[in-house]
Amino acid sequence: MLELTYPWLLLLLALPLLMRLMPAYKQSRDSVKVPFFDTLVELSEVRPETGAMIVQRDQTQRFLVGFMWLCLVLAAAKPTWVGAPIEQQKSGRDLMVAVDLSGSMEATDFTLPDGTSVNRLDAVKYVLANAGTHHESDRLGLIVFGSAAYLQTPFTEDHAIWTQLLTETEIGMAGQSTVFGDAIGLAIKLFLDGDSDNRVLVILTDGNDTGSTVPPIDAAKVAATHDIRIYTIAIGDPATIGEEALDVETIQRVSEVTGGRDFQALDREQLAEASRTIAELEPELYETVSFRPKQSLHWIPVAVMFFLYWLYHSWGAWQTWRRLRGAHAD
């Protein structure tokens, strides 16, 4: 579809008509200039008089002037070709995964499908790597936490990079303790730095909070005010006692406050089931973006104008050359 960016400039097309209503430009000058003018008048016995002549253009010149003005006005109005609408789907949700890397994650109490016994972190890596297929439309981020919380991967649509950085995590690289609340606080900051209104945080931990600056439940309340849903997955045996014991009540409360849900995973099957359930509760979400490509065509009338200008003067030069050649031949 063709449209004009500045259609009001077409009013300038009437300017030549207004010019015709104005009186002709007058310029006084001698019609004949010769050094012996007085002698010529005396010999011819003709008395010189004043007169006026209006210079007129021929039909070709009138057409060219009018057409070139039309081209200039059209170029100024900036004709633009607008293409058919193009729709693109973009990620509609930011999903942050927070993984506990404290020393207790080294417990080897999970089994892979091939029967291999692995520690809790390796089981988490296995399940999350396969869970990426359930969130292909999401922007994924990764936080690791232990004695402190760190951003491992900012929000990205490149799930291969996200998975690679997840596999590179090691137990203890963030410290031996568990700062559950600080991980939530870091996630809130990252969500607020983004531009998505659909925010989900998944936390996988096997211990209780041992030293967060902000208690987990208080951090969850802040998250709820920013419409951040938190899903928690408690990894390990809730009967464990001591510093590594699971604070099941806090984990459940964090999810409840934000409108999420808590899960408990004693083995790989339960961990995988929790991941699938979260995928069902948070189905893939897309945002459709529509735009129409535009291409400016203002150069076309300008090119036509210059071509006609060149063609007219080339024709005139050729005609002059023919006349001079014929005169020399005679």
Q: What is the pLDDT of residues 8-34, one digit of tens each?
A: 988 888 887 777 777 766 666 655 566
Q: Is 325 exposed, middle or buried (0-12, 13-18, 19+ CB in 10 A)?
A: exposed
Q: Is the pLDDT of residue 186 over 90?
A: yes
Q: Which residues pair with 262 in a beta bridge?
A: 232
Give this prediction's pTM. Answer: 0.61
Backbone phi and psi for residue 232, each to the nearest 5 degrees, phi listed first = -115, 140
Question: CA 167 to CA 169: how far, in whole Å?
Answer: 6
Q: What is the pLDDT of residue 149?
A: 92
**How large a percentage of the chain has pLDDT more than 70?**
81
Q: Is the pLDDT of residue 219 over 60?
A: yes
pLDDT tier, 97 (very low <50, low <70, confident <90, very high otherwise): very high
Joined together, the tokens standing for residue 183 give 């991980």
Half-sphere exposure of 204 (CA within 13 A, CB side): 29
Give the chain's mean pLDDT: 81
Cα 186–130–104 angle (5° rounding)? 55
Joined together, the tokens standing for residue 307 give 């071509």
Half-sphere exposure of 172 (CA within 13 A, CB side): 3
Joined together, the tokens standing for residue 56 give 């007129």
Question: CA 214 to CA 223: how far, in whole Å?
Answer: 12
Joined together, the tokens standing for residue 16 give 């030549």
Joined together, the tokens standing for residue 43 give 């010999």
Which superfamily does CATH assign the domain made up of 89-289 to?
Answer: von Willebrand factor, type A domain (3.40.50.410)
Q: What is the pLDDT of residue 54?
A: 54
Q: What is the mean pLDDT of residues 144-161?
A: 89
Q: What is the mean pLDDT of residues 119-131?
A: 82
CB atoms under 10 Å from CB of 310, counted, come to: 10
- Which residues, 6 or more positions from 154, have their beta carbon under 8 angstroms from its beta carbon? 141, 190
Give the start-to-end residue ranges of the domains of the chain.
Answer: 2-84+293-329, 89-289
Q: What is the pLDDT of residue 324?
A: 81
Question: CA 214 to CA 251: how far, in whole Å?
Answer: 15
Question: CA 181 to CA 216: how far, in whole Å?
Answer: 4
Q: What is the mean pLDDT of residues 313-327?
A: 83
pLDDT tier, 185 (very low <50, low <70, confident <90, very high otherwise): very high
Q: What is the mean pLDDT of residues 265-291?
A: 73
| 231 in Cβ contact with 187 (< 8 Å) | no
In angstroms, how far is the first alpha carbon of the chain from the final one? 59
